[in-house]
A = this chain, B = another copy of it.
Amino acid sequence: MAQSAESKQKLREICRIAARVFYEKGYDGASMQDIAQAVGLTKAGLYHHVGSKDRLLFEIMNYGMDILDETVLARVRDIADPREKLRQTIIGHIDLIVRARDLEITVILHENRSLKGALRKKINARKRNYIHYLEGLIGQVQEQAGVPPPISPRLAAFALLGMINWLYQWFRPEGPTRQNELAEAYVDFFFRGLRASP
């Protein structure tokens, strides 16, 4: 699969549409024929772009991790202060989960039992990198706070991921709580949990 800008765009378009089909019919319930039809390709054309059904699932998850990199991490890369960097990471990650646009990709990324072997390992390695990034940042924030850390960066990082990633189960942008209130409440709650001011 060539990775010219054009073929990358095409692959992403396929990923977005295929994610919707998997979301609706389940990974096992959706055929490559269903997906080809939804994308507007022949089955042969779809296989040309993605190789196999497993590979397509991998590409969707990989795209999900790309979105995290491009829309959350890229925006905080130049922030020097660990507290502000963590605060903006939380706000960006919440925005990513809450945005209806990528809901199907989020769901598929988290419910990743269908992916096996080497492809699963690659996705898990990318997820692990993000957890290590959070752990490192939390450790720096705790150090700056100057009080003995009441929770390990590792457990705090997973608590944070749970709080945020669970949002897709219940938070609706049209519901009673606005996204910015939610983000502010979660940031403050998390920093209190770390015993460090945001």
Whether B166 lies near A162 (C-beta < 8 A) is yes
Q: Is A111 an interface residue (CB 8 A)?
A: yes
Could you tell me the distance between the alpha carbons of A182 and B114 in the complex, rounded to whole angstroms?
Answer: 28
Please give, as numbers and ranges, the residues of chain B lying within 8 Å of A162 by CB-CB distance.
162-167, 169
Q: Is A192 an interface residue (CB 8 A)?
A: yes
Please give, as numbers and ranges, the residues of chain B lying within 8 Å of A10 by CB-CB distance.
none
Please give, as numbers and ranges, the residues of chain B lying within 8 Å of A27 by CB-CB distance.
26, 28-29
Q: Which of chain A's residues 115-157 have a Cβ closer than 8 Å to chain B?
A: 150-152, 154-156
Q: Contact residue range for chain A?
A: 35 or more
Q: Which of chain A's residues 161-198 have a Cβ closer than 8 Å to chain B?
A: 161-167, 169-171, 177, 182, 185-186, 188-190, 192-193, 195
Shortest CB distance A172–B (Å)? 12
Q: Is A63 an interface residue (CB 8 A)?
A: no
Could you tell me the distance between the alpha carbons of A115 and B155 in the complex, rounded to whole angstroms?
Answer: 33
Please give, as numbers and ranges, the residues of chain B lying within 8 Å of A43 by CB-CB distance.
none
Hey, which bits of chain A sit against chain B, CB under 8 A? 23, 25-29, 107, 110-111, 113-114, 150-152, 154-156, 158-159, 161-167, 169-171, 177, 182, 185-186, 188-190, 192-193, 195
Among all A-B residue pairs, the 3 with the closest Cβ atoms: A162-B166, A28-B29, A26-B28
| Complex A-B: 27 CB contacts under 8 Å | A23-B113, A26-B26, A26-B29, A26-B114, A27-B29, A29-B29, A107-B113, A110-B169, A150-B188, A150-B189, A151-B188, A151-B189, A152-B185, A155-B177, A155-B185, A158-B166, A161-B166, A162-B163, A162-B164, A162-B165, A162-B166, A162-B167, A162-B169, A165-B166, A166-B166, A192-B195, A193-B193
